[in-house]
Amino acid sequence: MAIVTHEFSFAADQPETVLKPLLALLQSDTQQNRAAMPRSAYLLEAQSVLIIDADRMLATAIAQALYGAGYRSLPVETELEAFTLFLKGVYIPQAVLLGHKHRINQLFLQRLLQQSAQKYGRKVPVIRLHATESTSATPPSTSSTRLPSQPLLPAPVQEPGAQMSGIEQLEREKMTLEGLDIGRYHLEALLGGGLQGNVYRTYDRLREREMALKAVHVNSLPYAIARVSEEEANLFQQEIDLLSTLDHPHIQAPLNAGRSYISGSPFIYKTMPFYPERSLTQWLTPQRRQNPFLPRDVISVALQLADALHYLHEHQILYQNFKLTNLLIRETGKDLHHLHLLLTDLAITQDGSFFSRTHEAYPYMAPERWHGQALPASDQYGLAAIIYELLTGRPPFQGVSEYALRFLHMNMQPQPPSAFNAALTPAIDHVLLRALAKRPDDRFPGIEIFAQTLQRYC
């Protein structure tokens, strides 16, 4: 079949500049297809703008811009992944956006477009994005070209020594922080991280001790936040201020925060105590993950974290940032029961706008969190999902993409934990599944009641 493709250019450092021509095309396409599609109300509700791009950072930025304009989006890395999710009924494509350097798999793109036409009687527009180095006074182009049956042209290959894009330069600069000095701090070794910041083992020359330092490039923050943080307080300083009057044995507050530059690129950082065991992610080695933990061992983790979360809730603070890398190990032991855990990296914004766009966070996000709502019951859901994983060896839901996990959290019921661990009783199943209820009102009245009830049956 012939494919009609549109080409939009935009500034790589301001992906929201593509919105004007993109929204014009989407609105026009919706009006043309609204009357023609059967069950139009249902189809419009299920539609998503498909973003196919291996550049997760840029894809996420475009998805955020679309979300702000009221459009659902589904970022995926390959046409095969997109076609698989389409066959499973996860979404209906409203439009297909192809990344500026994405190598197109013509076979699965053709299949996706053909089956969309056969099932829903509509042609899905295909849009090729072209990111430029910097913002230009020239408005984005909106040319439309009809291609015959030959494949869409792949993105040009970056030649050695050629100038890198802003996104590529940012990724290169991230790796250069290892071995550098930031004031009194010498960054010795990279411990881990990703698009939301890297963590380094650091030597504090003033205090003469090892620390942990987390650095986040301002350019990698969500674009709305980045603009604010350039002029207002450091986000990490806001975290320090938020926790300054609190004191709990299972909450780790940052020690210091600051701002610096590397090769002209701004970044913010915070320092924390360095714990050799690092986080629960490192402690859960493949050997430890092979067999689910016993309830009597897991309940210690549940009580520690529930007490810390209850303490935050009493001070009108929501945690919202569940992932195993955010559970630091202050004191270790031979088994799970003897670990002393700390919550770290709590969300600064408390209005529901915080959303950790990392795959390691998606398994623990309550259904309402995907809609921009955050409640104490959302933290209960996140804790229950972690406890479920420790008891079963797997989180309640598993998926290959953000959209798939969102769909599962919002629409599917998790299997009873006892299906994966014979040591669990129906009573434990009931407690965990209630804490994982879709509606916040169906969960326990408070996170401390959830933990106490779980302890009773463990």
Domain boundaries, the chain: 3-147, 167-273, 280-457
Would you say 336 and 368 are in contact if contact means Cβ atoms under 8 Å apart? no
Give me the CATH code for the 167-273 domain, please.
Answer: 3.30.200.20
Residue showing tokens 């804490």: 435
Question: Do residues 95 and 106 make contact, with C-beta atoms less than 8 angstroms apart?
Answer: no
- Between helix 447-457 and helix 426-435 the angle, nearest 10°, is 170
CB of 295 closer than 8 Å to CB of 428: yes
pLDDT of residue 12: 58
Q: For residues 385 and 173, give the distance between their C-alpha atoms in angstroms, rounded to a whole number.
A: 35
Length of the chain as a residue count: 458
DSSP classification of residue 362: G
> Measured between alpha carbons, how far is 216 from 444 in angstroms, rounded to an integer?
36
Q: What angle do CA 23, 27, 31 make, to 5 degrees?
A: 170
Residue with tokens 């189809």: 43
Q: Classify burial at 341, counting beta carbons within 10 Å of its beta carbon; exposed 0-12, middle 13-18, buried 19 or more.
A: buried
Cβ neighbours of residue 422 closer than 8 Å, sequence gap 6 or more: none
Is the four-CA dihedral 11, 12, 16, 21 of positive or negative sign?
Answer: positive
- HSE of 121, CA atoms in CB hemisphere, 13 A: 10
**Residue written as token pair 């990296």:** 345
Q: What is the pLDDT of residue 25?
A: 81
| Assigned token pair, 230 | 């350039």
Query: Position 447: which residue type?
Result: I
How many angstroms separate the CA atoms of 449 and 300, rounded? 15
Report d(CA 187, CA 137) in Å as an integer: 40
3-147: CATH topology? Rossmann fold (3.40.50)
- Sequence-separated (6 or more) residues with CB below 8 Å from residue 57: 167, 170, 195, 220
- The predicted structure's pLDDT at residue 170: 39
Q: Which residue has the tokens 């994983």?
A: 389
User: Do 280-457 and 167-273 have the same topology in CATH?
Assistant: no
Chain center to CA of 401: 10
Q: For the domain 280-457, what is the CATH code?
A: 1.10.510.10
Q: Is 280 helix (H, G, I), strand (E, B) or coil?
A: helix
* Residue at 419: amino acid letter: A
DSSP string, 96-134: EEE-TTPPP-HHHHHHHHHHHHHHHS-PPPEEEEEEESS
**What sections of 2-105 are H helices per DSSP?**
19-34, 40-46, 56-68, 79-87
In this predicted structure, what is the pLDDT of residue 230? 44
241/354 Cα distance (integer angstroms): 18
- Over its length of 458 residues, how does the chain's per-residue pLDDT go in tens digits? 556 677 777 665 566 666 778 888 877 766 555 555 444 434 555 678 899 988 777 777 777 777 666 678 888 888 888 888 888 777 888 889 888 677 888 888 888 998 888 887 778 889 888 766 544 433 433 333 333 333 332 333 333 333 333 333 434 444 568 889 999 999 999 988 765 688 999 999 999 999 999 998 776 554 334 444 444 457 888 899 989 889 999 999 999 999 888 766 788 899 999 999 889 998 987 667 667 899 999 999 999 999 999 999 999 999 999 999 999 999 887 789 899 999 999 988 888 888 887 889 999 999 999 988 999 999 999 999 999 999 999 999 988 778 788 889 999 999 999 999 999 999 999 999 999 999 999 999 999 999 999 999 98
Q: How far apart (Å, rounded) are the C-alpha atoms in residues 325 and 407?
A: 24
Q: How far apart are the first and last CA of the chain?
A: 60
Burial 169-198 (b: 16+ CB within 10 A, else e): bbeebbeebeeeebeebbbbeebebebbbb
Structural element, H or E, at residue 434? helix 426-435
